[in-house]
Amino acid sequence: MYRKQIASPAHADAPMFTSPFSMSYKVFAFLLLLIAAGIPSRAQKPFAEGTIVYNVAIRSADHKEVTGVYTFLIKGAEIRKELKLSNGYEDVVILNCLTGKVYSLQARGNKKYAIQLNMDEMQKKQEKFSGYAIKNETMNNRLIAGYASYKGNINYKDGTNEAIVYTKDWSPSQAITFERFPDAKFLPTNFSYKDENNMVMQFDIDKIEQGPIESAMFRIPADYHMISYAEYKQLSR
């Protein structure tokens, strides 16, 4: 999530994958091709616990660019998103999809704040991206982060579209994980979009790693003072 000078990133964002009981000759030949190419064939499953890391580049309308790393830590219904940019900007958002609580960790000078955000508002903002469809899907000719990948175009209800690369081996376990891809049946690996300020944001996958995450990563640190978003706005004046 970006603040002020940095617009909010996708909290990122498909066709259903079916497995027929009978196999035609063409399907059999296709599977042989996958084996020959060394592409692993896995069943799609929810990404319930682990780490996803993107390299990001943000280009403003006046062609200034800043780069960084965007990390997702996931443990069941809990999500931690960490954005670190080369200009020193940092933002952490912690979501608990069971309790509906969301906090943004921010520092102002020597003071640290855990700003409570509104989960309902986040979900309402995500609604405009629902009902999308992936068109022109083709299989990518290389593995990405160790997984078979596909290319396509996401078409939204408002007529806009974005190019995307994704894997079907994984899907987000929570619908809100990727803001622009609600309830995705895939895991996005490479995508970009332009916001209302003509700022282009590019996301390129660096790592998809399944494994245990410490519960402490989803707790508010003791040195952070909890405040409401309204209180934070008052401090920002």
Q: Which tokens go with 28?
A: 């059999």
Instruction: Quote the mean pLDDT of the chain.
Output: 83
Q: pLDDT, tens digit, for every residue of 106-141?
A: 988 889 999 999 999 999 999 999 999 999 999 998
For residue 18, is it within any domain?
A: no
Please state which of the ranges 23-27, 137-141, 161-165 shows the lowest mean pLDDT.
Answer: 23-27
pLDDT at 162 exceeding the cut of 90: yes
For residue 14, is it within any domain?
A: no
pLDDT at 150 exceeding the cut of 90: yes
Q: How many CA atoms lie within 13 A of 118 on its CB side?
A: 7
pLDDT at 17 exceeding the cut of 60: no
**232, 115 in Cβ contact below 8 A?**
yes
pLDDT at 165 exceeding the cut of 60: yes
What is residue 123's predicted lDDT score, i.e. its pLDDT?
92
pTM exceeding 0.75: yes
For residue 4, is it within any domain?
A: no
Helix (DSSP H) and strand (DSSP E) numbers for the chain: 3, 14
pLDDT at 7 exceeding the cut of 50: no
For residue 158, is it within any domain?
A: yes
What is residue 92's predicted lDDT score, i.e. its pLDDT?
96
Q: Which of 110, 81, 107, 106 is nearest to 96 (CA)?
A: 81
For residue 6, is it within any domain?
A: no
For residue 228, is it within any domain?
A: yes
What is residue 107's predicted lDDT score, i.e. its pLDDT?
87
pLDDT at 178 exceeding the cut of 60: yes
What is residue 81's predicted lDDT score, i.e. its pLDDT?
97
pLDDT at 87 exceeding the cut of 60: yes
For residue 98, is it within any domain?
A: yes
CATH number at residue 162: 2.50.20
Confidence of residue 235 (pLDDT cuts 50, 70, 90): confident
**CA dist 27 → 22, 30, 34, 59, 230 (Å):** 10, 5, 11, 43, 57
What is residue 8's predicted lDDT score, i.e. its pLDDT?
40
C-alpha span between 127 and 76 (Å, rounded)? 22
- Count of domains forming the chain: 1
Q: Which of 80, 27, 33, 28 is nearest to 52 (CA)?
A: 80
For residue 38, is it within any domain?
A: yes
What is residue 212's predicted lDDT score, i.e. its pLDDT?
97
What is residue 222's predicted lDDT score, i.e. its pLDDT?
94
Give the range of the structural domain holding residue 47, as residue numbers without chain letter.
25-235
